[in-house]
Structure 1
């Protein structure tokens, strides 16, 4: 289902995306991101972090206020709608839903839940053999008494580490945690991953809500503690160190803020907002070449990032690098023709053109 004309509500989080960026992406596809549940919502997307909404019988709890008629989609489906994920591989998908349910021994609700959390990824309701293998492994664990939420958490953890439930045989270890069976040995899901750690991830959404609320009420010490805990629970999501860096910045702890934003871009080199904050910090320290480079990283990562274009163009103009600034000013006006900064951009364009014309007449005026 395309997003154009739709109102989307997100349950949980999309790893690596701030809400600001998600809202921009949805809007660029012609849709609208709902700030809260309402009867106007037409699509409900479930992030991988929202497994606590899955009941053991496969039904999924919807937040109050959402219409029962809304379409439910998974995190990966949403990512594909937003252009953040490649289409599913072109492999043979010869099985229908009823056949997979029968061969795996799963109810329709359980199969739908596995699809909603991307354990299975059908295309047009057609399933591949790997989907059947993953469905059978999930069914085996469920019959042994493993909670559905734990199966979903383990499947998501495996996918984030380049594996898949179809490629792993899981069992409960001596501590009760799900571990992998490799020959006659038991191994954790990935070196350091245990269900104890993933159990924290199950409540990560609640942790982040508490951190955001602490930030809003000015309790920055609490926000710092909560974001630090969240980073220990999820060592991959770049939004967590990004938010922690913002907390440090609000506390006047600029060096620590920079480190946190650097962790964010190390986790995701295409995290435009973190590059933008690093560029601002470099400008504050009069490291202009570094600031230019980091603004460029921001606009490369997010070509529609108007604020980054504006700041980069303004800095290049101040540095008398008008040939570089001119194209960026023009791009800013394409992005934000009605912005409150549009008049500044128009004046800067006129100034840059005048300087370039003067340089053509008198090459000695060229900077550098």
Structure 2
């Protein structure tokens, strides 16, 4: 979303697209339209392995969870958390085993009796097959008496007392990618970026905006750290007058990439539209700090200073805007303020 003062403009909103790599940066026009059928999600890169379906050695599990090999063997011999799969002909841990081991590790750290740990792990293993989308749905909790595996449809066991153990299964999957399977992370990031690029070719046309939204959301499911996708998804929400959703998405983008100029600029614009010029100023300043040639940010920063009654601070912004964009309708408006 790259807009100046809406009251002075008859132009439609413009999404800021981004090209990464050498020579990249913001581009005002989307890349060429894809070939017919190219909006389908690309297949994962060759050799990519999804951790949820992978098998893990004892050495990998010890490294991931910080459990000593001796403790791992003890849990295996006790039948509390034994490897249930095979990898290259040898016993190996499944992702479900990792969930059980993560819970067992945390319960033991809280001085829960081994007998109660065993019962808790049995409850977890009983609950897991009931969930069709564990990464999206599951949280595991334990109160010292009963394990609670909570999904979108509710809890599988009644929650009693104060919760002392609570973790999202998706967090465990992300730890696997970060610690044990960095190649999976790279492959997923590449696939997500390809989806993002497809969406950026579609998100300015109302006829294809729904398709663009679906592609952005799919990209974020694959790579939740793709900050620019949150920004462009926020732009779609803004166009649909879902301002609060847009603001939340811009904030999420900044949580992941605090220096992203697009999200800072768009938040500044939202604040300016609300009449919160003082709040808008810091976002426009942040956008300029990240990209000193972000012309629209200078323009709207000047507008914000004008709105709070400080034309002295606005003038250098008008001048800087004219240095970058010396011609056009907006340049004429900027000159009238000098």
- Of the two structures, which has the highest relative contact order with CA contacts closer than 8 Å and spacing of 6 or more? 2
Normalising to structure 1: TM-score of the pair?
Answer: 0.45
Normalising to structure 2: TM-score of the pair?
Answer: 0.49
- Structure number with greater Rg is 2
